[in-house]
C-alpha cells in the first residue's frame, strides 16, 4: 500500500530508525512523467528539500540517454568536419594510434576475419583492385627472389615511372586502365625490378614481348 503523504527528508527517518518503512511506503510524484511512485524510485539529491531528485529514476535515465545521444552526434559531426579539413593530421594520428595498439588491433582483425570469412574475402579482393600497382610490385618481388635479382622499386618509384610515360604503355603508347610492370631486361636474364629496368606496358605488349629483350621487339 502506498501512502499519499508529503515527502520529508529521509535523514529524519534514518534518525528514527525507520528508513525501511520510508523506502517502502513514502511516495513522490515525478515532475516529468507525473506518476506517483515509491521514493525508492527516485535518486537522492542532498541539496533538495526532500533529499530526492525531482524526476523518477526512469525519467532521469531517459533524459541522460537523450543528452548522451545529442552530445555524441555533435561530437561525431565536429570530428568528421575536422578530419575532412586536416587529412594529413588525421592520417598521422591514425598511424600513431595503430603503432601504439598494433597487437590488439591485429588480434581483433584476425577474430573479425574468422567470424566474417565472406566479408573478409571481398575486402581483400576490393583492396587488390584498388591497389593493383602495389600487388604487381609484390608479385615482382616474389619473382625476383626466385631468380635472386635486385628489387629496389617502391610504389612511389612506380608512380614516378607512370608519370614519366604519361600513364601510357611504353610500346604502343596506348592508354589502359591497367598497366603492368615490364622489365626491359627480362627477369629470367637477370633484370632486376629497379627504377632503371621498369617501364609500364599494356597486357598485350607485355605478352608479345614475353622473355625477349627489348631490341628484338623493336626490330619486329
Q: Cβ distance 176 to 202 under 8 Å? A: yes
CA 73 to chain centre: 18
Q: Cβ distance 96 to 104 under 8 Å? A: no
Distance, CA of 123 to CA of 111 (rounded, Å): 15
Nearer to Zn ion, 153 or 169 (CB): 169
**Is 172 near Zn ion (CB under 5 A)?**
yes
DSSP code for 5: -
User: Cβ 18 to Zn ion, closest distance in Å?
Assistant: 25
Nearer to Zn ion, 37 or 90 (CB): 37
Task: Enumerate residues 21-80 that contact Zn ion by CB under 5 A.
Answer: 30, 32-33, 56, 59
Q: How many CB atoms lie within 10 A of CB 22?
A: 20
User: Cβ 153 to Zn ion, closest distance in Å?
Assistant: 20
Q: Go through the chain and tell me how many residues it has.
A: 220
Q: Helix, strand or coil for residue 99? A: helix
Tell me the CB-side half-sphere exposure of residue 122, using CA atoms within 13 A.
4
For the chain, count helices (H), then strands (E): 10, 6
User: Cβ 165 to Zn ion, closest distance in Å?
Assistant: 11
Nearer to Zn ion, 36 or 73 (CB): 36
**Is 170 near Zn ion (CB under 5 A)?**
no
**Which range touches Zn ion (CB under 5 A), out of 74-82, 84-92, 100-108, 162-170?**
162-170
User: Cβ 62 to Zn ion, closest distance in Å?
Assistant: 8
Nearer to Zn ion, 22 or 171 (CB): 171
Options 26, 153, 169, 179; binder of Zn ion; rule CB under 5 A: 169
Grid cell digits, residue 69: 545521444
**Is 109 near Zn ion (CB under 5 A)?**
no
Nearer to Zn ion, 120 or 165 (CB): 165
Q: How many CB atoms lie within 10 A of CB 60?
A: 17
Task: Enumerate residues 184-213 that contact Zn ion by CB under 5 A.
Answer: 202, 205
* Residues contributing to the site for Zn ion (CB under 5 A): 30, 32-33, 56, 59, 169, 171-172, 202, 205
Amino acid at each position: 500500500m502506498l501512502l499519499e503523504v508529503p515527502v520529508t527528508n529521509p535523514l529524519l527517518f534514518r534518525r528514527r530508525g525507520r528508513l525501511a518503512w520510508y523506502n517502502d511506503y513514502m511516495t513522490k510524484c515525478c515532475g516529468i512523467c507525473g506518476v506517483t511512485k515509491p521514493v525508492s524510485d527516485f535518486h537522492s539529491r542532498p541539496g533538495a528539500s526532500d533529499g530526492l531528485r525531482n524526476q523518477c529514476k526512469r525519467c532521469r535515465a531517459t533524459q541522460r540517454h537523450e543528452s548522451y545521444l545529442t552530445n555524441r552526434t555533435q561530437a561525431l559531426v565536429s570530428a568528421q568536419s575536422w578530419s575532412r579539413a586536416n587529412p594529413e593530421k588525421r592520417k598521422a594520428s591514425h598511424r600513431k594510434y595503430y603503432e601504439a595498439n598494433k597487437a590488439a588491433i591485429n588480434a581483433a582483425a584476425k577474430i573479425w576475419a574468422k567470424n566474417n570469412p565472406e566479408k573478409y574475402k571481398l575486402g581483400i579482393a576490393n583492396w587488390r583492385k584498388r591497389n593493383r600497382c602495389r600487388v604487381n610490385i609484390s608479385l615482382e618481388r616474389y619473382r625476383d627472389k626466385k631468380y635472386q635479382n635486385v628489387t629496389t622499386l617502391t610504389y612511389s618509384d612506380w608512380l614516378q615511372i607512370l608519370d614519366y610515360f604519361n600513364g601510357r604503355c611504353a610500346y604502343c603508347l596506348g592508354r589502359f586502365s591497367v598497366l603492368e610492370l615490364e622489365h626491359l631486361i627480362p627477369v629470367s636474364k637477370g633484370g632486376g625490378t629497379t627504377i632503371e629496368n621498369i617501364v609500364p606496358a599494356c597486357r598485350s605488349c607485355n605478352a608479345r614481348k614475353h622473355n625477349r629483350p627489348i631490341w628484338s621487339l623493336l626490330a619486329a
